[in-house]
Amino acid sequence: MSKLPQDIIVDILSYLPVKSLVRFKCVCKPWQSLISDPRFVKLHLKRAIEGNNINRQRLLVAAEPLYSSVDFEAASDGDDINAVMELPYPSAASRTESFAFASIRGSCDGLVCIRNGGDVHDMFLWNPSTRESKKLPKPSSYVQKDGFLTGLGYDSTIDDYKLVIACLTTANGSHKIMAPEVFTLKTNSWRRIQGIHSGITLEGGAGVFWNGALYWLGKQETGADHDVNAIFSLDVAHEKFRGFVPLPNHFCTAVLSISGNCLCIFGKLHPDESYFEAWITSEYGVKTSWRRRFSIPFDRLYIDYFSTETCLTKKGVLMDHHGCPGTLQLYNPVEDATKLLRVKNDGDPIYDSAVYTESLVSLR
């Protein structure tokens, strides 16, 4: 290997999984320096996300008694031994009884934001692949326990990661963005940003980062009997909310996700919620760019009130099966087959999960 040109060595290493690269840091000082180099970290991340690659994507499940990282492509291909990996608690997490209620508040480039227990102000960033974690300072404004949204994204113009947080509920009970704030990793501080237009209601929860923007589901007031269900976005670099794109009107519920380089919508259909559909787009804002991947009758899936759609796989869809604690389901629409995966869980059907990409991105 030492006889190979340096650029060939770099190219070979950039295609390897994070687990191997972390071990290779111990081979010699030159490799430790190379693998830790920010330029190599960016190249490795580029390899992980280019070409609609979903082989480096994992599902992080935050459930007692352990976190789990699920390689859903390995499971889909029958590699059950390597499909589920248990992860230790992040070092930045304060281990308390309320930690069972930890929720994932965003995912971007291998970093995830986690709310620790019931305290909304107790949050940290974590790279599950390298195990590095960082506790965040509290936002300057008070954030209510319920009814707030978040989103973790990357600003390529300044090469920095940003976390957006905003309270959704006003004193009179109406829902709108109130004093959104943004945290930047390099400055390790929060500051206020411009709010959203009136007449828009965003759903609380974690936004999805894709192509330089954060996306949430919500409603746009029209003055008619029914508001428009739509996708809203925030430009991470300019820190401004943009316009909305209506959802297909036959959806009664919807979930946003990412698959490779595509934005996905999973929806349950009107009028009787008897079908489940998955749609993807690679060009946001262009109505004709949405493509339906498949439509599945509900009786072919293990669906209950708590079930949520998570992500597309090469062969189908991965779903949380919350009604059966600690169970995930992989459905293959071509073979009309369902496979169940088990993760460690204390029996509580309410737990959180999010898709992340394996990366070497550092929090320093």
Evaluate if residue 244 carries a pLDDT over 70.
Answer: yes
Coil vs helix vs strand at 36: helix
Positive or negative: CA dihedral 317, 71, 342, 149: negative
Give the mean pLDDT of 32-51: 90
The C-alpha angle with vertex 115 and arms to 176 and 350, in degrees rounded to 5, equals: 90
The model scores a pTM over 0.85: yes
pLDDT of 98 reads 45
Radius of gyration of the chain (CA): 20
Residues near 137 by beta carbon (within 8 Å), at least 6 away in sequence: 183, 188, 189, 190
- For residue 306, CA distances in Å to 149, 233, 251, 322 come to 20, 26, 17, 5
DSSP strand pairing (291-297 vs 275-281): antiparallel
Eight-class DSSP state of 280: E
Q: Find the Cα–Cα–Cα–Cα dihedral 139, 143, 149, 154, rounded to 10°.
A: 0
Residue from 154, 146, 265 nearest 216 by CA:
265
pLDDT of residue 147: 61
The DSSP string of 210-241 is ETTEEEEEEEE--SSSSPEEEEEEEETTTTEE
Higher pLDDT, 95 or 21: 21
pLDDT at residue 270, rounded to an integer = 60
List, in order, residues 6 or more apart from 322 with CB less than 8 Å away.
304, 306, 307, 308, 349, 350, 351
Q: What is the mean pLDDT of residues 116-126?
A: 78
